[in-house]
Amino acid sequence: TPRTQTYGARALNFTNPTARLILETIERKKSNLAVSVDVTKSNDLLAIIKAVGPYVCMIKTHIDIIDDFDFSLIKQLQNLGHEYDFVYFEDRKFADIGNTVALQYAGGVHKIASWAHLTNAHPVPGPSIIKGLSSVGLALGRGLLLLAEMSTKGSLAVGSYTEEAVRMARQHKDFVIGFIAQRRMDGIGSQLHEDVSQDDFLILTPGIGLEAKGDAMGQQYRTPHEAVFESGSDIIIVGRGIYGTDPKAVDAIAAKAERYMAEGWAAYQARLTH
């Protein structure tokens, strides 16, 4: 099963080029760490990416929180992506009708589809949201994650909602390459008599921290070991646990990234042999 396959071997489980690129990048860099850089100034964003670049397979952005956004920032982000060998995940959380999300994904100020390898969507509108986003992203080789679960206290994405999300993904495996979730979704949402043992989806897990248990606004943290070893997550997403409160403290930020990378990789290696 995917849980005990290497990242490199799993690249062959996918036809989507972004899924393959992510798995190959993880294998090459021996890092299943994604850093979520939630800062509001372009210069801080670039400085933090430079600091953590060597240790990540992925940088997760919220491009709409950048106060001084100018499209020239995108070229600089792309250059760093090539220099340090990682992919971009724009955590846009699309949630509207197909026609609207296609416009939001392709255009506006941020033109997300033109640079983000990966983005995500809430399954709440139903399969039409995948149709809308794939009408833009599929031909560009992009990938989509569905939000099957969230890390927050009291999340409504549970039970049959989560199951339906997985079912939607199974119908669109060319474009939906995985889930934001807190655990593996293997077998979940499969119909009676359907053989899904060979199905592979990437599980990306936010809400990861080694020190805090949560924040003042409902975020809940688990450790890399809990996520990757116990729950079978593939990529850990870490934000404030790495960049802390001072975006200028780049040496400390790099050291933290290295630590999370080591913890995430150790948990994966332990998983392979258990």
Q: Which residues are annotated as a binding site?
A: 38, 60, 151, 219, 239-240
In contact, 119 and 133? CB cutoff 8 Å: yes
Least distance CB 67 / ligand 5BU (angstroms)? 16
Which among 212, 205, 209 has a CA at the least distance from the CA of 179? 205
Amino acid present at 48: I
Residues from 141 through 170 that contact ligand 5BU (CB under 6 A):
147, 150-152
Residue 238 exposed, middle or buried by CB count within 10 Å (0-12, 13-18, 19+): buried
Tokens 């889930």, located at residue? 179
Least distance CB 141 / ligand 5BU (angstroms)? 23
Alpha carbon distances (Å) from 101 to 63, 81, 93: 16, 26, 10
Binding-site sequence positions for substrate: 38, 60, 151, 219, 239-240
Least distance CB 6 / ligand 5BU (angstroms)? 26
31, 36, 104, 134: which one contacts ligand 5BU (CB under 6 A)? 36
Residues from 230 through 249 that contact ligand 5BU (CB under 6 A):
237-241
In contact, 142 and 180? CB cutoff 8 Å: no
Query: Which of 30, 93, 111, 173 does the annotation list as catalytic?
Result: 93
In contact, 86 and 25? CB cutoff 8 Å: yes
In contact, 203 and 181? CB cutoff 8 Å: yes
In contact, 18 and 117? CB cutoff 8 Å: yes
67 catalytic, yes or no?
no
Q: Which is nearer to ligand 5BU, 41 or 62 (CB)?
A: 62
93 catalytic, yes or no?
yes
**Total binding residues for ligand 5BU by CB under 6 A?**
17
Least distance CB 206 / ligand 5BU (angstroms)? 3
Query: Which of 44, 85, 96, 186 does the annotation list as catalytic?
Result: 96
Which among 189, 144, 145, 197 has a CA at the least distance from the CA of 164? 189
Query: Which of 91, 199, 200, 234 does the annotation list as catalytic?
Result: 91
96 catalytic, yes or no?
yes
Instruction: Examine residue 264 and tell whether it contacts ligand 5BU (CB under 6 A).
Output: no
The SS3 of residue 11 is helix
Binding stretches for ligand 5BU (CB under 6 A): 36, 38, 62, 91, 147, 150-152, 180, 206-207, 219, 237-241
Q: What residues act catalytically?
A: 91, 93, 96
